Amino acid sequence: MEIKTLSSAKCFGGEVAFHQFESRACKTPMRFSTFMPPQATGGKVPAILFLSGLTCTDENFMVKSGAQQHAARLGLALIVPDTSPRDARVPGDDASWDLGLGAGFYVDATESPWSAHYRMATFVSQELPDLIGARFPVDATRTGIMGHSMGGHGAIVTALRNPDRFKSCSAFAPISAPTRCPWGQKAFRAYLGPQVEAWRAWDSCELLLDENLRSASTGSAASRKIPILVDQGASDKWMDQLRPDLLADAAARSAWPLTLRTQPGYDHSYYFIATFIADHLAHHAKALAP
C-alpha cells in the first residue's frame, strides 16, 4: 500500500510528517499525521493514536497541542488520523458542522449513504494501526489511544472495544454518553439508524456498565480493565454535551479504574489540552513501558 508523504519537518530531534493513502476501510484517500521521536532511529517505539474532535483535521493536534517535546523525551510516536473522509463526498455532508465532514464520530456507519465511506471505527482501530506497525518504526504491541471531545468518546470506546490492541487510554473532555446528548444522538441516528439499541455499543458509559455488551463488541468473554485518565475543564461551555458525571457514575458502578480530574478555570480549547498533555503522555508511557 503506497503512502504519500505530503510534507515533513524536523521537530525536537524527531520528525513531524503529514501523509495520505488509499483507505480500504473508507474506500477513499485518507490523511493522517505522525511524529516519530528521535528514539525511532534506533529501533521500534511505542505509539499513541490521538483522535481529534468535531471540525478538526489531522493537523490540529500536531500544530496546537505542544505534544512533540514531551513525546520526544518519552520516546513515544504520535499518530493522528483525520476525523472523517474528505474526498468521497456524501450528500449533506457539509450541511452542518456536527455531522459529516469533520464529524465521523469514530463509528462504522450502517445507514445509507454514510455506510459507503464512513467506516471510521475500522479505520482507527484496525487499518491505520496495522499500516503504522508495518511501515513505521513502531512497536504494534505497545499502542495507546487518546482523544479530545468527539475524539475522547472515540478513544474510550475504541479502547473498550479493542482491549487486545490498545494498552492505555486517556481523554480530554470526552463526549461521555453520546446516546444521551444532542451531538451523539444526531450523529448516531444518521450513521447507525433509528434503533437506539444499536447505539449502545458505541457509548462509553453503556460499554462500562454492561459486560455482555462489552464482550459482544470485543469478541471475547472478558476485557482487561485498562485504567482511563480523563481531564475536564470546569469552565467548558459544552458540559451538557459531555456529561463527565455520567462517565464517573458508570466507572464507579462497574469498578472500572477511572481518574477524572476537573480542572478549575479551563475550557474546551487546545490551551487546555496543551496545559495537561504532558500528564497524559506520561500516563501512556508508564502503561506502555516494556
Could you tell me if 54 and 242 are in contact, meaning their C-beta atoms sit under 8 angstroms apart? no
The arrangement of strands across the sheet holding 138-148 comes to: 3-11, 14-23, 28-36, 77-81, 45-51, 138-148, 168-172, 228-233, 258-263
| Residues with catalytic function | 149, 236, 268
Q: Compute CA 181 distance to the chain's CA centroid, rounded to the nearest angstrom.
A: 19
What phi and psi values does residue 44 have, to the nearest 5 degrees?
-75, 140
The residue count for the chain: 290
In which element (H, E) is residue 171 found?
Answer: strand 168-172
* Residue ranges of E strands in 182-242: 228-233
Peptide bond connecting 129 to the previous residue in cis, omega within 30 degrees of 0: no
Burial class for 151, CB neighbours closer than 10 Å (0-12, 13-18, 19+): buried
Residue type, 226: I
